[in-house]
Structure 1
Amino acid sequence: MAPALRLDPARLTAIDVHTHAEVSRTGHPSLSPELMAASEKYFAAHGHRMPTIAETAEHYRQRNMAAVVFTVDAEHALGHPPIPNEEIAEDCAEHADVLVPFASLDPWRGRAAVRQARRLVEEYGVRGFKFHPSLQGFSPDDRLAYPLYEAIEELGVPALFHTGQTGIGAGVPGGGGIRLKHSNPMLVDDVAADFPGLRIILAHPSFPWQDEALAVATHKPNVYIDLSGWSPKYFPPQLVRYANTLLKKKVLFGSDHPVITADRWLADFAELDIKPEVRPMILKENALRVLGLDQA
């Protein structure tokens, strides 16, 4: 039987839907040293520590917050083995009062990925899946990924897609071979149309495609937006406007911990022109619904 979450929503002040496992139990990093250095430079996070999952749990526990944790499986395109999803899920299960495990599966793994998705949810308690199309080298609307989407939809858990530019590979010759075009949120529109029962989260302010992301989230009932990867003080005005109005029930707090900490994000969010009645929706209430925790 899959381990159960032990979150107490009434105790939580916020749910961070976007944090990263950057190092395995054995010290294996989630990215190659070259790409990790590029990411640190992009986020001005030079020499930041790669926290263990236990350290991440304690960080959020001290703040009465919960966090979604995942890595990225991009071995086909990057040649770098991922941190095992099973390990992340097991470690999150030890801190089920504050951590929500997501998994990442490379669509290029084909039917093996489909089988693994089912096992991860049914046996390990994984509560969603992360895709990074630019790192994984696929377009979200490519039919190669459709069997995996179908399985995730049947399992009743959400899929989170990186959108917009990425700091990974930034400044590296050729961007490390990473192609930004795959992370245009409009490519996820086909997925949302073809899998209407699949809850989809578009991660990050989607520079340079913010309007496309807003259009998809407004048009498709099953599409949400997380606000990770940027300090709120840099959010484009149309994103703030939609978060306050049409998308107030569809926008989610995410940081990008550890390169952007929840403390930094929340401090800047406090200065953002967000209606008082909308703030708790963004910080917690919307995430409870999207993650299926309001019925847990």
Structure 2
Amino acid sequence: MNLDSVKAIDVHTHAEVGRDGRTSLSPALLGASEDYFKAHGHRQPSIAETADYYRSRNMLAVVFTVDAEHATGHPRISNEEIAEDCAAHADVLIPFASVDPYKGKAGVREARRLVEEHGVRGFKFHPSIQGFAPDDRMAFPLYEAIEELGAVALFHTGQTGIGAGVRGGGGIRLKYSNPMLVDDVAVDFPDLRIILAHPSFPWQDEALAVATHKEHVYIDLSGWSPKYFPPQLVRYANSLLQDKVLFGSDYPVITPDRWLADFEKLEIKDSVRPKILKNNAARLLNLEDPK
């Protein structure tokens, strides 16, 4: 893959609708997310439409869904389907997968198959929606497989718009997305490459501490407009964590167009901007080294 012409690598985009039109979450939870992000009326794009969007902008995008069948009872979108559709657009899309940790040995077998046979490069976890604590030993066999396969583990951290305003938060417990729970994962799986997704409100300092302390822990900046980033996040991105911070949008609820426009106004050093937008992700994902 030649990255010379690539403007940026978006490490956080969602595939929320399958080929059959079925969504990855229930209408109630998706509706709450639309309310939270003020994204009423936006249509969930197909993977082909996502590819066209990023191709027209000379960007690459990591694509994934969330498998939360155990906690929600809602059938997931097939990981194989997402990987196959991404493979049809391999010039711009990078497939990640999601395996519910409650699936045990079957989930471990699936993870291996997805990497070895479908080219999946990483796995998305959403502890609050999936209903598990990242440091629960139930998930350790899955982490072990991901580490052994050389894939990336991406954890949602902080508050989530999914379930916001729904009675009882739709049963979603925010405490599971405290990034400090991922610190134990980084200790017990020291070679596992980990991304802490989002500015981790209300645990931003915890996320910065873990990423600074643990060698293979990164932070993506998705889910927030850069104009709302906490000042300490900007300070660390400009200094101690300049090689471990990644561009992510949360497309389609936040578009890279909006994110990048606001990022332009952020006080980020000229030497750091290309690291955040492309170089750090290229290195983490084992893509061709940018020149």
**Aligning the two structures, in what range does the TM-score lie when normalised by the shorter sequence?**
over 0.9
Instruction: Report percent identity of matched pairs.
Output: 78
**Mapped pair 1:273 → 2:263:** no
Deviations 1:181-210 (A, max 9, x none): 000000000000110110000000000000
Which of residues 152, 158, 168 in structure 2 aligns to 1:164?
158
Q: What secondary structure sits across from 1:102 in the alignment?
A: strand
**Mapped pair 1:185 → 2:179:** yes
Deviations 1:7-56 (A, max 9, x none): 32112110000000010000000110000100000000001110000000
Give the alignment's TM-score, normalised by structure 1.
0.97
Q: What secondary structure sits across from 1:294 in the alignment?
A: coil
The answer (yes or no) to whether the contact 1:20–1:256 under 8 Å persists in 2 is: yes
**Mapped pair 1:225 → 2:202:** no
Which of residues 13, 16, 24 in structure 1 aligns to 2:18?
24
In the other structure, the counterpart of 1:211 is 205
Structure 1 outlier segments of 4+, above 6 Å: none
The answer (yes or no) to whether the contact 1:165–1:207 under 8 Å persists in 2 is: yes
> Structure 2: where are the runs of 5+ without partners?
none
Query: Aligned partners of 1:290 and 1:174: how far apart in 2?
Result: 37
Query: Aligned partners of 1:96 and 1:54: how far apart in 2?
Result: 11
Deviations 1:235-285 (A, max 9, x none): 000000000000000000000000000000000000000000000000000
**Mapped pair 1:237 → 2:231:** yes
In the other structure, the counterpart of 1:3 is none
Give the alignment's TM-score, normalised by structure 2.
0.99
The answer (yes or no) to whether the contact 1:8–1:97 under 8 Å persists in 2 is: no
Query: Aligned partners of 1:295 and 1:242: how far apart in 2?
Result: 24
In the other structure, the counterpart of 1:251 is 245
Deviations 1:138-158 (A, max 9, x none): 000000000000000000011
Deviations 1:97-153 (A, max 9, x none): 000000000000000000000000000110100000000000000000000000000
In the other structure, the counterpart of 1:4 is none
In the other structure, the counterpart of 2:283 is 289
Which of residues 95, 113, 121 in structure 1 aligns to 2:115?
121
Q: What secondary structure sits across from 2:45 in the alignment?
A: coil
Counterpart of 1:238 in structure 2: which amino acid? Q
Which of residues 84, 99, 109 in structure 1 aligns to 2:78?
84
Query: Aligned partners of 2:185 and 2:179: how far apart in 1?
Result: 10
Counterpart of 2:11 in structure 1: which amino acid? V
Query: Aligned partners of 1:175 and 1:289: how far apart in 2?
Result: 37
Deviation for aligned residue 1:294: 3.5
Query: Aligned partners of 1:137 and 1:69: how far apart in 2?
Result: 22
Q: How well do the aligned residues superpose, as a CA RMSD in angstroms?
A: 0.9
The answer (yes or no) to whether the contact 1:252–1:282 under 8 Å persists in 2 is: yes
Counterpart of 1:173 in structure 2: which amino acid? R
Deviation for aligned residue 1:295: 6.2
In the other structure, the counterpart of 2:91 is 97
